[in-house]
Structure formats: C-alpha cells, structure tokens
Amino acid sequence: MEDQSPAGIKEVKKYLSFNLDELVALPLKAKPLRFTKSSFEKRVFHNLKQHSSCIDLQKKFQYKEEIRKLLLTTTEIKELPKAILKLSPLSSFETCHVLVHEKGKPVGQNYFFNYSNYEETRLISIQSFNTLFNLVKKSKNKIFNQSLNMKEDLDVVGNFLAKEIDLKNYSVIYLISRNSFLPPSQEEQEFFQGLSMHLQPLLARILDKDKNDLKKEVLRKSLENFPEKIFVKKNQQIIFSNHNNDGPVENSHLMVFPIEGEDHTVMELSNLSKDAISTELYHSQRVSLLGELLNTLQHELSNPLFGLNLTGQLLASDAPDEETKEILNEICTNANRSQTIIKNFSNLYNDQQEYKKLQVYNFIEEVITLTKSETKEIQKCIECVGFEKTDKLEIKTNSTALTQIIFNLIINAAQAIKSNSENVRNHKIVIKLIREGSAITIAVVDDGPGVKPELAKTIFEPFFTTKDSGTGLGLSICQNLARQLGSKIHFQNNTPFPGATFSLNLPLA
C-alpha cells in the first residue's frame, strides 16, 4: 500500500506519522479525522494491529477521538468533570473538579464529579480560587497533594493533577485525582496537560453561552413579572406568556411588536389592565399638560382681550363717523370671539374625572371650532335627527374625553378626504346627532375614500396607521376613551356613496 494508495489512505498515513503533539494540534474540524466509524478506518486499524509498534498510535487515535467526542457533546460547564473522567487515558482517576471564576465576580463556581456518580456544584471563595490558580500556574509538573490547605473546596485525597486555563473573561482550573498517593504516570500527565488546549476553546464557548443563558433567564423573569399581559407568538401560536391562566385578550387592547430577527414572531402587550396604563397614561398626561397650558393661556390672553374689547367699545361710542364705529365694533367682536374660543378650549380640557352636563349641539359646535385649521375648506355641518337644535338636548359626560373623541374623528375624516382628493371644497363632514329615545348617537360622517374592508378590523388597534406620519394611536385612544364613557365607537363604510361613518352612542342626561 505504498504509492498507489488512494488519496484517503495517503492522508491517513500522513496522520499516522504524526506524534501526539502534532495530532493534538490538528484542527478539530478537519474532516479526514472523522474516520473512526468508517469501515475504512477499521481496516486501517486492523492492519495496524498486526504490528505491535503501532499499538501506541492506535491508542492515540482513540484518545483523539474521545476528546473530539467530549468537545462535541459537552454543552454545559457542569457536564465537564464527568466528561473528563470518562476519557480512557484518565480512567484510573476518581474525582474531577472544574473551578470557574468569572473575572470581576466575588465568587467562583466549583463543579465536581466523582466515580460514584456524585455530582455537585458549589461556590468557591475568590481567595481560595486565586491561591490555587497561582499555585497551579507556577507549578511545572502540575502534580499537587492534599497538603494544600484546601480541604473545604476540594474533594481529593492524596495526589492530584491540576491545570489552569486563562480565558478572556474567565479563569478556569481543572483538576483530577485518583484519591491515592500513587503518582500519575508520565503518559497521564502528558495527556492531562495536552487536554488544556482543547478545553480552552470549548470553555470559552460554553461559558459565554452560560452567560448568555443567564441574560435570557433574567429577561424571561422580567417578562414574567411584567404587570401587563404579554404573549409572544410565533405563527399565531403562543410560545410565551406571563399569564397562563387567562385566555388571550381582545385585539383592540393590544400593542403588537414584531420581534427583530425572528420571522413570524410578535410580542403582544396588553395595554388595558385594571389601571389601564401605557397609551392611556401617556395620553392622559398629554391631556392634562394641555389643560394646564390652556388654562395659563386663557388667563394670559383674557386680560388683554378684555382690554381690547373695553377700549373698542369705548372708542366706538365716541366714534366720529359710522365707518370708524363699524371697525371698532369689529375689533370688539373679534376680541370677544377670541376670548370665547380660548375659554371653550380650557373648558373642554378641564378636570379629566369630572362629569358634567353639556348641551350636545353647542358642544359639537365648539369641537368643530377646534378642528378648524385641520379641516380648512372642507364643509362641515351638524345635522339633528329626531330633535331640533332648539331642544337643547343635554348629556352628562366627561367633556375632555368626548372632545378628544369627536376632535380625533373629525380630524381623521378631514385627513381621509385630503388624502383622496385635490379639491377638498367639494367634500363635507357631517356630524349627525340622532336622538334614539333616551340616548343620542353622535356620528361623524365623511365622504372620503372610506376604509378598505380588509383593514376594517384593525383600525382600532394601537399602532395601526395608514398615514406616513401617524402614530396609529388616535383611534385606539378614542376607543379607550369611549370605553371610559361607557360607550363604544362603531365604524362602517357608507353605502352607496363612498366614505366612512364613526359613531358612538351616549345616554341623554
């Protein structure tokens, strides 16, 4: 089998000529070494067995393969002591410790295994660890005996072999003992020491993995303890939830986040528990801030506007001619109007918990005033159905919340119209007030493009938006506010003409 041998055999012959050190240094991923299970390898070994001089080589291959197996199968640091003891060159040893210290941590871990299948993980003080580590590092033959004052930490009797491994984030010591004073053979020592170069990359890998697992664990714990319901879904299947007993919550209460790097996986966060936090909290903070701002504004503008009004009246009464008088009256009227607007603004944003009676028609008129700049050029009107404007129908409600709702619905209607038409003057928004017995329905009807049927179900979901600059919170906040008022916003597309209608029903006072 000299020169005519096939390429594979040449390769094996090359490896067979290596001594142990060279073999150990071979890259582990090199394919040609994975031949123990092949019939080819058996044949080679069979041939080798014919020559007693080759038995050593065969052993070395076996060892090599065992190390490979250890490296491939060990995934956790606590499995390592057992795996080391299983290696046949170390078969006469009874106990194994793997001591790990993550640099910067106050304690180290001591993983232990003995041949009566006893497994244990305990802590080791950093002082003991460092003492041992330095001792091992300085030692040449790596043989120690129990005269070392480390009985508390190490379960060994007599001599033991120890080797240190210094990693970027960890210091590791592995040590084995046969629990006797019999010194280890040269062969065992060599093997033991040679092991370190294989263990080094393995340890680096699994220790960091442990660290990542810890991170995951911490993350999982914090998700589990999150006060709101969380569901993580992959392909619509729940793969994680912090509320095992409850069913999934309604869609309209959810915030949904896709998880980066994971296809078809989303995290759903219920944003409506007892205290209704998240978006609502954000919203209520915004509203109360706005309320304060408007209050200040009202007071600051009120005085000068009143001054304008007074002066105008005074001058008008002394005006030399009709034209001047008219102009001065106009000033008064405008000052008055400004005052009314700012007053209504701050009335609309008053105490968020307060329920008071308000006249529906006037209320809607005021809200329309608020939307003026957004709905510029679009016609707006209020239609009363089943009653007259002069009936002064009243509802008892929270004006801040209701203003928000109607305001948003009108703005949405205006934006829908603008998105679809150049000539917004031809369009109009109708606010229909429909009396139905002791209740009234407020409907905001636009003649925009309407909502695509496939999107109809999702429009109330948080973060759903069709607008480039939208937050997608408007309608979901409105729906939450409506719920606070004991109502619900309904949506339907208009027929036969295009457009959308959003409506809610409230009891009359």
Partner 1 sequence: MKRILLVEDEPLIQKSLKKLLEKKGVEVTVESRGREAIQLILNQKFDRIICDLMLQDISGFDVIEESKARFTIAEISKLFIIITAYSSPHVIEKAQQYGCLLLSKPFENIEEALAIFLSEGAQ
Residues that bind partner 1 (CB under 8 A): 299, 302-311, 313-314, 339
Closest approach, Cβ 340 to partner 1, in A, equals 10
- Strand partners of residue 120: 112
Both tokens assigned to 401: 């919340």
Backbone angles phi, psi at 307, to 5 degrees: -60, -45
Closest approach, Cβ 308 to partner 1, in A, equals 6
Closest CA to 383 of 435, 450, 438, 348: 435
Closest approach, Cβ 311 to partner 1, in A, equals 5
SS3 (DSSP) at 82: helix
Both tokens assigned to 289: 């801030």
Q: Check: CB of residue 203 under 8 Å from CB of residue 120.
A: no
- Burial (CB count <10 Å: 0-12, 13-18, 19+), residue 307: exposed
Both tokens assigned to 168: 């970027």
User: Can you say whether residue 158 is alpha, beta or left, with left for phi > 0 and alpha for psi between -120 and 50 degrees?
Assistant: left
Q: Whole-angstrom Cα distance, residue 284 to residue 105? A: 45
Closest approach, Cβ 351 to partner 1, in A, equals 12
38 vs 296, beta carbon nearer partner 1: 296
Closest approach, Cβ 288 to partner 1, in A, equals 17
127 vs 303, beta carbon nearer partner 1: 303
284 vs 298, beta carbon nearer partner 1: 298
Give helix 39-49 / helix 55-73 axis angle, nearest 10°.
150
Give helix 399-420 / helix 360-370 axis angle, nearest 10°.
50
Q: Check: CB of residue 346 under 8 Å from CB of residue 291.
A: yes
156 vs 332, beta carbon nearer partner 1: 332
Q: Check: CB of residue 111 under 8 Å from CB of residue 173.
A: no
The per-residue b/e assignment along 366-380, b for 16 or more CB within 10 angstroms, e otherwise, is: bbbebbeeebeebeb
Closest approach, Cβ 353 to partner 1, in A, equals 16
298 vs 476, beta carbon nearer partner 1: 298
Closest CA to 266 of 63, 461, 457: 461
Closest approach, Cβ 309 to partner 1, in A, equals 6
311 vs 492, beta carbon nearer partner 1: 311
Closest approach, Cβ 331 to partner 1, in A, equals 11
Inter-CA distances, 98 with 84, 105, 133, 162, 185, Å:
10, 17, 12, 10, 21
303 vs 438, beta carbon nearer partner 1: 303
73 vs 303, beta carbon nearer partner 1: 303
Closest approach, Cβ 498 to partner 1, in A, equals 46
Closest approach, Cβ 404 to partner 1, in A, equals 24
Q: Check: CB of residue 429 under 8 Å from CB of residue 409.
A: no
**Hey, what amino acid is at 368?**
I
Closest approach, Cβ 339 to partner 1, in A, equals 6
346 vs 487, beta carbon nearer partner 1: 346
- Strand partners of residue 357: 396
SS3 (DSSP) at 134: helix
32 vs 307, beta carbon nearer partner 1: 307
Closest approach, Cβ 355 to partner 1, in A, equals 18
- Which ranges constitute the DSSP H helices of 276-435? 279-317, 322-348, 360-370, 399-420
- Burial (CB count <10 Å: 0-12, 13-18, 19+), residue 403: buried
130 vs 340, beta carbon nearer partner 1: 340
